[in-house]
């Protein structure tokens, strides 16, 4: 009689341990990575400020990286689970063996992205860039691919110089490079302070090409889909809240980033208001984005359909 009781006790203990293990996994943090003060990434901080992730029952930990390419390296090293990046950069990473997929759209067009030069520069338009040096944040970053596009439009060739995100403005002002690929809020800062001027507004010159998207590791998608869904719901819920509350959003941006109120206002009007409210993705948008990879001479680019999933979008936002 004792043996069956022991066996039943073992089964009970096994079930308890299994439930405990499942609960522990559910409580594991969702690690999000991106460039901290980059506009499309700010909704993560806003969701934390508004306690949206808490309301959804998901623990989010944010890690800031110097660039999108650095974020991709973090994802490849399994330091983070979700990052803000760019489809051509992801295509490059997947060719190197990284297993990750686009799970949501950020901005559809590159709002606030410009090719910028010093105020007294003789360069007037994209054609003037032929033979010139363009500063980018890093090789394989969105700025790098946009510099390639600039070269293709110039009618000649350009030299891309990676100087790091913080080095873009100093290298332009010192004359080490002739122009830079400026992303928001760097572009707003330069224009408002009149330290630089735009010769190309990517938001007007480019079609929908998803300059930033949310990318998740294959492990996150397959093993923790509900946690991923909650994290994305938190991000897009923050986007919707920010778009509906300009005064709160501008104050939050200024406080979070240390920007002047004028720059924070530009960030809101040009970047935050242009963010996707639900993350919806379309294959033609991904195809357009991957064309920039072709400019880089990338071979065997994965099919657009294999680069993204609509399993988690459109997101139904919640209120804080």
Sign of CA dihedral 157, 159, 164, 166: negative
User: Which pLDDT value is given to residue 17?
Assistant: 43
Closest to 234 (Cα-Cα) out of 7, 24, 30: 30
User: How many whole angstroms separate alpha carbon 96 and alpha carbon 137?
Assistant: 21
Encode pLDDT of 218-243 as tens digits.
999 999 999 999 999 999 999 999 99
Mean pLDDT along residues 176-193: 95
Mean pLDDT along residues 112-135: 97
Q: How confident is the model at residue 14 (pLDDT cuts 50, 70, 90)?
A: low
User: Which residues share a beta bridge with 101?
Assistant: 216
Indicate the pTM of the whole model: 0.84
Mean pLDDT along residues 192-198: 95
Q: Is the pLDDT of residue 100 over 70?
A: yes
User: Which residue do the tokens 């691919």 mark?
Assistant: 145
Q: Is the pLDDT of residue 144 over 50?
A: yes
H/E/C letters for each residue in 188-246?
Answer: HHHHHCCCEEEEEEHHHHCCCCCCCEEEEEHHHHHHCHHHHHHHHHHHHHHHHHHHHCH
Neighbours of 308 (CB within 10 A): 24
Q: How confident is the model at residue 24 (pLDDT cuts 50, 70, 90)?
A: very low
Lowest mean pLDDT among 15-29, 172-186, 250-264, 290-304: 15-29
Q: How confident is the model at residue 13 (pLDDT cuts 50, 70, 90)?
A: very low
| Domains contained in the chain, CATH given | 19-108+210-306 (3.40.190.10), 114-205 (3.40.190.10)
Length of the chain (residues)? 320
């Amino acid at each position: 009689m004792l043996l069956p009781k022991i066996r039943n006790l073992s089964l009970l203990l096994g079930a308890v341990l299994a439930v405990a293990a499942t609960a522990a996994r559910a409580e594991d943090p969702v690690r999000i990575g991106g460039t901290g003060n980059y506009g499309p990434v700010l909704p993560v901080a806003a969701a934390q400020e508004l306690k949206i992730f808490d309301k959804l029952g998901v623990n989010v930990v944010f890690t800031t990286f110097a660039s999108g390419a650095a974020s991709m390296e973090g994802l490849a090293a399994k330091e983070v689970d979700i990052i803000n990046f760019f489809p051509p950069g992801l295509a490059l990473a997947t060719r190197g063996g990284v297993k990750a997929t686009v799970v949501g759209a950020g901005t559809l067009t590159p709002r606030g992205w410009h090719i910028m030069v010093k105020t007294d520069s003789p360069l007037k338009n994209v054609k003037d860039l032929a033979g010139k040096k363009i500063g980018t944040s890093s090789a394989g970053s969105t700025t790098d691919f946009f510099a390639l596009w600039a070269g293709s439009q110039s009618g000649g060739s350009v030299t891309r110089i990676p100087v790091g995100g913080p080095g873009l403005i100093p290298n332009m002002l010192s004359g080490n490079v002739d122009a830079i690929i400026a992303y928001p809020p760097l572009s707003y800062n330069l224009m408002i302070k009149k330290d630089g001027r735009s010769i190309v507004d990517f938001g007007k010159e480019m079609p929908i090409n998803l300059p930033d998207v949310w990318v998740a590791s294959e492990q996150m998608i397959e093993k923790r889909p509900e946690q991923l869904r909650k994290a994305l719901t938190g991000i897009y819920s923050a986007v919707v809240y920010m778009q509906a509350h300009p005064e709160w959003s501008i104050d939050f941006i200024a406080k979070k980033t240390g920007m002047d109120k004028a720059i924070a206002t530009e960030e809101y009007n040009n970047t935050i208001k242009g963010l996707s409210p639900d993350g919806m993705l379309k294959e033609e948008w991904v195809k357009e984005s991957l064309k920039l990879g072709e400019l880089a001479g990338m071979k065997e680019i994965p099919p657009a359909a294999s680069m993204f999933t609509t399993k988690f979008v459109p997101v139904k936002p919640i209120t804080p």
